[in-house]
Each structure stands twice: as C-alpha cells, then as structure tokens.
Amino acid sequence: MRGTRRRGHRSLRVGIVCPYSFDAPGGVQFHVRDLAEALQAAGHHVSVLAPSSDDTELPDVVTAAGRAVPVPYNGSVARLTFGPLTATRVRRWLEGGIDGSPFDIVHLHEPMVPSLSMLALWLATEPVVATFHTSQVRSRALQVAYPLVRQSLEKIAARIAVSEDARRTLVDHLGGDAVVIPNGVYTQVFASSARRPEWTGTADAPTVAFLGRLDEPRKGLSVLVQAVPTILDRVPGTRFLVAGRGNGIVAETREALGERASSVEFLGAVSDAEKAALLASADLYVAPQTGGESFGIVLVEAMSAGSVVVASDLGAFQRVLDDGAAGALFRTGDPADLASTVLDLIADPARRDAYRAHAAQWVQRFDWSGVTEQVLAVYEMTLDADHAIAGDVVGRFMGLFPRRVGGDA
C-alpha cells in the first residue's frame, strides 16, 4: 500500500495515455493536452504518453511513444501506433511513473482503439480510469479481438463517456455503464479572443467559418460547398472561411465552385490563437458533419467565442446545442436545408443575438473548472475503492506465481 492520504489534499501522480498522434492534432489530442494542463493547475503531477514523430514539437508533459503510422481503421484513416516495440515503450513508461514513483492513476483515452491505450490497459497494474470519446466502436475486427480485450476491460475501475451518445454506444457494444463527463473547454480563452478585421463580417459581407479536416468526408465540407451557390445567389457578399488541412481537396473544391471560388478562402491549418480569433470574428460557424461525432468540442469553442453555430442535427450536436436553443440545427447532409438555415440567420440579427445570449450561459457547463472537478471526483472514487481492499487472495492461497493486480504493486 502507498502512503496515507487525506481527501482532496494529496497531489496525485496521473499517467494519461492518448492513442492518437500529436502530429495531426484532433479532438482527443486537444482534450488530453488540456486535461493534463488542468490537472497540473490543480496541483497534480501528470505525464502523458502519446504517439508522435521525433520532429514534432510536444508540450513538456508529453512523452513520445514513437511514430504513428496511417492505417485504415473503421472506415477512415487513423494514425496509430502498435507492435512489440511500442509495447516495450508503454511498459517502460508505466514502470517509470513520475520521477521514479509509480502512477496513482492511469487514465486511458479510447482504450478500444487499437493503439497505445489498448496496450497500456493490457499492461497496467495501476488503478485504471478510461474515457470513451467515440460514438462508433462497432467494427467486425473488434468483434474478433473482443474476447482478448474483454478481460483487460475488466481492469477498468471507472468508465467515463464524454457525452450521452458515447455512453449509449458503450452500453450497446460493450455492455455495462459509464458516467458522463463532458469534454472541457477553456471558455474564457475563446470569449476573450480578439477579432481579426479580415475575418470579421459586415452586414453585406457576413463571414461563415468552417473548421476541420478537409479530406475527411465525415467532417462534411462537401455539404457546405454544395450549399455555397444557393447562399451566394441571395447574399452575394458572403465570405466562407475554411480552416483545416487536407491535401488535394482545395484545388478540387475550387474547380467545382468555378467562378464562385473567390468567395471561399482556404486558410490551411490554423494555430490555436488563430482558431480562437477565427471563431470570435466569424458571424456564423457551420458544423456540417455527417456522422461519427460524439461530442462536438468545436461547437462549444465557437459558442464561447461568440459565433452563432449552425450544425447538422446529429444527436451529439443537438445535445451540445441544448436541443437547438444555443444554436441552429439543419438536416444532416442536406445542403439545401443548410443554405436556407444560414440565409435565415443572416437575415435575422435578433435571432442571432438570442442564440448568442443563450450560448454564453450554456457553455459554462463545459468549462474546465467544473469538468476537472468531476474528473478528480472519479479519480478519488477509484482510489477509495482501490485502497479499500488490498491483498491478492488467489496469490496468497496458492502462492504459485507472484502476481501484481490492480494497485497492489
């Protein structure tokens, strides 16, 4: 057993594992980075293990677990890392802990994605907390590997789902339950971001922002692009600001738009500061995703920054927009409905203000201050349970092999 602890006063050593590469940042990576930062701000020690190539600049807390290779998985291309060398690295990281002391808690993200987290779950002897982000874990491959994975899933002491949708997926596919703790956003960073004149709209030339991987069909850029002509017919001055990387899509899209292409500006990959400025400056933020979303963190960021959100009516987005009270919803994958929703909003400043006012209140529940507290409560419960009963009954009675189980190390 480890030293005595007083409730809420002890600083914890938390190891966080992120399965996706920091080379191409995405929602889970940002969440992991911010969670690490929030936990450190609360006085805890954190180490993050994530795939990354050597030349990518990483935040100090992140330990690189090696290069991630692009592999087709579950209908899209994911950058994952796996194999025996990686397993060794994971083991070494777990043994190393923080400054030579073992982790109190290992917090895995997406343990069902065949990457670092799955390996860490397999190897961990510490109490494990797991966060499930996705609302799509159905895959035939997983069904095949499931008997192998199931037993290590039992190691998880506490499951967190980032949304009601992620929780439902978890319940449907893996059984069991999870507590819902939303993804956190530093709302103040977005709320206080300065506008950029070149991205700020005017009455005749409103700006509409899009953010996301361009070459990822599920992000729905094509839905927005198909809506562009209709919108321009009615409000010719509208400017579309498209941020995000994606090879080859830019030229293709310009070609498809023909002479209207000049209304669509491709900003490429944007930094965090640029993203905040973009969301603070744009009149509307469009989220035309067609599926595979379990939360919609960018929607919260856009609401925090003061853009009015127009999103497809996926379950996750409905919930993050308070059932349409904090932003407008359109039929998923329907460019005509998107166009008319955008046009309605451009024509109706009062409705935009109403959305903005509601959103400013609503986003508080996603602020890191409250979210961190909830995560820490989960850690506390996990440790309470872990400390409650120690000892290894089978090992004691049979004494055949020395075994290390859940936190008795």
Partner 1 sequence: MTWSEIALVALAAVVVGLVFAWQGASRLDRLHRKVAASRIALDAQLVRRASAAVELAASGALDPASSVLVADAAYTASDAGPVTSPAAALKMDGLGSARERAESGLTATLREALGSPEAVRDLRAGPAGEVVVGLAAAWYRVTLARRFHNEAVAQARRVRRLWYVRLFHLAGRAPMPRTVELDDALPPGLEPAAG
Sole binder of partner 1 in the list 46, 158, 227, 249 (CB under 8 A): 158
* Binding track over 377-406 against partner 1, x by CB under 8 A: xx-xxx-xxx-xx-xxxx--------x-xx
**Interacting stretch for partner 1, rule CB under 8 A, among 172-180, 283-291, 301-309, 310-318?**
172-180
Least Cβ distance, residue 163 to partner 1 (angstroms): 13
Q: Does 194 bind partner 1 (CB under 8 A)?
A: no
Length of the chain: 409
**Interacting stretch for partner 1, rule CB under 8 A, among 151-159, 186-194, 258-266, 288-296?**
151-159
**Interacting stretch for partner 1, rule CB under 8 A, among 50-58, 60-68, 183-191, 369-377?**
369-377
Residue type, position 217, single letter:
P
Helix H or strand E encompassing 234: helix 221-234
**Cβ-defined contacts of 168-172 (< 8 Å, 24+):** 168/135, 169/132, 169/134, 169/135, 169/136, 169/137, 169/138, 169/294, 170/132, 170/137
Q: Does 166 bind partner 1 (CB under 8 A)?
A: no
Least Cβ distance, residue 113 to partner 1 (angstroms): 20
Cα gap 220→405, rounded to integer Å: 45
Number of residues that bind partner 1 (CB under 8 A): 34
Q: Where are the alpha helices (DSSP H) in 306-348?
A: 315-320, 335-347
Cα-based angle 185, 190, 193 (whole degrees, multiple of 5): 160
Q: Does 114 bind partner 1 (CB under 8 A)?
A: no
DSSP state of 296: -
Nearer to partner 1 (CB atom), residue 162 or residue 278 = 162
Give the chain's radius of gyration (CA, Å).
Answer: 23
**Structure-block tokens of residue 315:** 């379950």
Least Cβ distance, residue 353 to partner 1 (angstroms): 24
Least Cβ distance, residue 332 to partner 1 (angstroms): 27
Nearer to partner 1 (CB atom), residue 213 or residue 387 = 387
CB-neighbour burial class of residue 84 (10 A; exposed 0-12, middle 13-18, buried 19+): exposed
Q: Does 370 bind partner 1 (CB under 8 A)?
A: yes
What is the binding site for partner 1 (CB under 8 A)? 151, 154-155, 157-159, 175-179, 182, 364-365, 370, 373-374, 377-378, 380-382, 384-386, 388-389, 391-394, 403, 405-406
